[in-house]
Amino acid sequence: MLKYDTTIGLEVHVELATKSKIFCGCSTEFTSEPNTHCCPICLGMPGAIYVTNRKVVEYAVKAALALNCEVEKVSGFDRKLYFYPDIPKAYQVSQYEVTLAKNGYVLIEVGGKTKRIGIGTLHMEEDAGKLIHEEGKPYSLIDLNRAGVPLIEIVSKPDMCSAEEASLYLNKLKTVLQYAGVSDCKMEEGSMRCDINISMRPSGSKTLGTKVEVKNLGSFRAVRRAIEFEQKRQSRILEEGGTVEQETRRWDESKGCTIHMRGKIENRYAPEPNLSPVIVDQKWIDQIMKTMPELPDARKERYINNFGLPDYDAEVITSSKKLSDFYEDCVKNYNDPKVISNWVMVEMLGLLNETGVSIDEIKFKPKQLAVLFELMGNGTISGKIAKEVFREMFNTGEDPEAIVRKKGLVQITDESQLQRIIRDVIDQNPKSVQDYKNGKQKALGFLVGQVMKLTRGKANPQLPNKILRSFLDET
Ligand SMILES: [Zn+2]
């Protein structure tokens, strides 16, 4: 049986977070009231004169620089001729002949290695409106609030070869753009959208297979599933000696498969005569560069070099801006970056995964977590109890001190109090005591466990062991 290699490229659309649209002053803010953020320009009225929003160019350049692209000094706008009612002008203003930027890349960590995924081009364009198809009605409705919202389209090179790599690339794009502050990149809400180009060829072959495009992917999970589905579908066709059709397919989330949407179409473009060229000189680039915040790769390096975090931990924490900002805030309040990163990696991510809560919804503040570390550090509570307190903080947002007080969780460090409990444990477990005396070290562990049980985990973990030994060895 032949084995096949997969080649994947992604076309990603990202909404820029400017306050107004790309060619008019209408608000980009989301509203559920249809057709309220519209004017003659974004409604496509004949004769409406439009100009380019300078802020959109600034954000797009910032995105391009953050993605290591070369920015063109002069680019321009073109009309993508397009006959579909979600665009009232019958063309979409986009960039085709010369795009704003090209030749960028991002780095992903895959299988313990760093891989570079190339970005072919990055260009600006306007978003379309939204068609609403009401069940059983012989017509469709149109909401043009989204028409004219600024987008950048980022076209990767066909450098990915698995669903995992595509997913890592997508997440890296999202992280970089969020760090740069140019988009919130929420795929579920449509501010980040992704189309897949995927082809397969016999292993070792130099010629790329026929490319299939997949659209309508509403989540990272959908992207992964669609790629895995296409890998199976295309390799089955090839194994049976068939040929893969060049086509556009649509991901069907409920059926978990891709469905034929349309055959190959050639898009046609014409120059846009209403808009002046986009000119980005070095001075402007320098100004934008000055406003560039620390990006994820740099932040990861800093965590490794200054905080002494392992590569893997630094990667996980910086792969989400929200998580990383949260972590930084904790470090500002409690100066032990390694302890905090361990806690964040194990306890916090564990609870987030377990409960499905997102980092935005966390109820406690980094400062409160710092207090928890202090309580642990000064011996007020044991590490075991700290986990219990943390869970409570996570559920309620309450202060750790209040939880400790309310639940009576202060660590027992008073030896005389412990001695009494330990005497009881020894009296009640003569067999284990005998086992220990016969040289079974395991029996000691059992007795310590009994003490912890009676103290509900509040005993300072070093003490029961020490006291038990001294009692057992003296009798
Ligand atoms: Zn408008």
The 10s digit of each residue's pLDDT in 191-237 is 999 999 999 999 988 899 999 999 989 899 999 999 999 999 999 99
Using CB atoms within 10 A of its CB, is residue 388 exposed (0-12), middle (13-18) or buried (19+)?
middle
Could you tell me the distance, in angstroms and rounded to a whole number, from the CA of residue 186 to the centre of ligand 1?
A: 23
Could you tell me the distance, in angstroms and rounded to a whole number, from the CA of residue 265 to the centre of ligand 1?
A: 30
Residue 171: which pLDDT band, with cuts at 50, 70 and 90?
Answer: very high
Structure tokens at 470: 């001294």
Could you tell me the distance, in angstroms and rounded to a whole number, from the CA of residue 41 to the centre of ligand 1?
A: 5
1: pLDDT strictly greater than 60: no
ipTM of the complex: 0.99
Residue 2: which pLDDT band, with cuts at 50, 70 and 90?
Answer: low
Report yes or no: 193 and 217 within 8 Å, Cβ to Cβ. Answer: yes
Using CB atoms within 10 A of its CB, is residue 88 exposed (0-12), middle (13-18) or buried (19+)?
middle
Question: For 44-58, 244-258, 360-374, 447-461, which range has the lowest pLDDT when averaged over its residues?
Answer: 447-461
Q: What is the pLDDT of residues 62-72, one digit of tens each?
A: 999 999 999 99
Look at residue 4 in the predicted model and tell me its pLDDT. 93
Tell me the average pLDDT across 134-161.
Answer: 95
Residue 253: which pLDDT band, with cuts at 50, 70 and 90?
Answer: very high
> Between residues 122 and 375, which one has the greater pLDDT?
122
Write down the mean pLDDT value for the chain: 92
Could you tell me the distance, in angstroms and rounded to a whole number, from the CA of residue 15 to the centre of ligand 1?
A: 16
CA distances from 248 to 121, 192, 197, 211, 258 (A): 21, 20, 9, 9, 10
Tell me the average pLDDT across 110-133.
Answer: 95
Q: Which domains does the chain have, with CATH numbers?
A: 4-285 (no CATH), 415-474 (1.10.10.410)
Q: What is the dihedral of CA 80, 258, 160, 320, to 10 degrees?
A: 90
Give CA–CA dist 265/267, Å, rounded: 6
Helices (H) and strands (E) in the chain, counts: 16, 16
Structure tokens at 87: 């665009």
Q: What is the pLDDT of residues 46-58, one digit of tens each?
A: 989 999 999 999 9
Could you tell me the distance, in angstroms and rounded to a whole number, from the CA of residue 215 to the centre of ligand 1?
A: 27
Give CA–CA dist 14/63, Å, rounded: 10
Q: What is the pLDDT of residues 8-24, one digit of tens each?
A: 999 999 999 999 999 99
Look at residue 475 in the predicted model and tell me its pLDDT. 62
